[in-house]
Homo-oligomer: A and B are copies of this chain.
Amino acid sequence: MIKQINHVAILVEDLDASLSFWRDALGIPVGKTEVNPGENVNIAFLPLGDSEIELLEPISADSALGKFLAKRGQGMHHICVEVDDIDATMQRLAEHGVQMINDAPKSREDGTRYAFVHPKSTSGVLVELYELPKA
Residues of A in contact with B (beta carbons under 8 Å apart): 1-5, 8, 10, 12-14, 17-18, 20-22, 24-28, 48-51, 53, 55, 73-76, 79, 81, 89, 92-93, 95-98, 117, 119, 121-125
Number of copies: 2
Q: Which residues of B contact A21 (CB under 8 A)?
A: 96, 98, 117, 121-123
Q: Identify whether the interface residues of A are mostly helix, strand, loop, or mixed.
A: mixed
Which of B5, B28, B55, B89 interacts with A26 by CB under 8 Å? B89
A1: which B residues are within 8 A, CB to CB? 27
A92→B124 contact, CB < 8 A: no
A109 → B minimal CB distance (Å): 25
